[in-house]
Amino acid sequence: MEKPHTNNDESPKNQSSIQKIAHKKASGEINKGKIFSSMADTEHLDEAKKALDKGYKLDANPLKTEWGKVNDAKKHLKAIGPESSEYVAAQGLMNKANTREKHIERVSLDVVNQVMIKQREMLTSELEQYYVTKGIFVDVELSGPDKTYMKLSSSLFREASIDRIADGTKFFSHLKKAGFKRIILEDNEDNTWTYSFTKS
């Protein structure tokens, strides 16, 4: 007869081991906190310098630049008060850390922006392919800042059908989520319908 399977992870022995690990980790965090609070201002300043220098490596490609441990540096610098003789030096390093932080934010925003542009390009390509599979000719064109304007041109566009798209589908909502700011629909008689999206 097959013995029933028991979950060893729930055994008293393993429970005790897990508790010991958790206690050891908590004790370690407490000790770190005690060490940090007992550090002299000169030590905080020295650790901040190390944090900014460690791993810092500029590259022509901002995405490959290593910025050092900016958060760790700022943590140590904030521990140095105005009454300290190290305060002026600490503020100089804080300015350096803040400058790096701004560079990191700028690079991060640029990466997000490039991803969104690529997403809009892919969506446009998929939209064109969709119309082709339906046997409908629609010319789709991107323009505007960061390709946030989309223009759709087709001889089949009519005011009634466009109203149905705008009011009865989630087509525009989907485009807005992709970062589009303006959609222009045009027929072959120079009639245009423009929809602008604002941030909600």
pLDDT tens string 29-76 = 444 566 888 899 999 999 999 999 988 888 888 778 888 999 999 999
CA distance 127 to 171: 11
For residue 22, pLDDT beyond 80: no
Kind plus residue range of the DSSP H or E element containing 185: strand 182-186
Which of 65, 69, 31 minimizes the C-alpha distance to 48? 69
Give 174-185 pLDDT, tens digit per residue: 999 999 999 999
Instruction: Decide if pLDDT at 155 tops 50.
Output: yes
pLDDT tens-place string over residues 92-145: 999 999 999 999 999 999 999 999 999 999 999 999 999 999 898 999 999 999
Of 1-15, 133-147, 154-168, which gets the smallest average pLDDT?
A: 1-15
Mean pLDDT of 164-174: 87
pTM flag (> 0.75) = no
> Domain coordinates of the chain in residue numbers?
15-112, 136-196
CA gyration radius for the chain?
A: 29
Which tokens hold the place of 89?
């030096």
59: which 2 tokens? 């590259």
**Burial call 146-171: b when 16+ CB within 10 Å, e when fewer:** ebbbbbbbbeebeeeebeebeeeeee
Q: Which residue has the higher pLDDT, 94 or 15?
A: 94
- What is the distance between the alpha carbons of residues 132 and 49, in angstroms, rounded to a whole number? 60
pLDDT of 28 strictly over 50: no
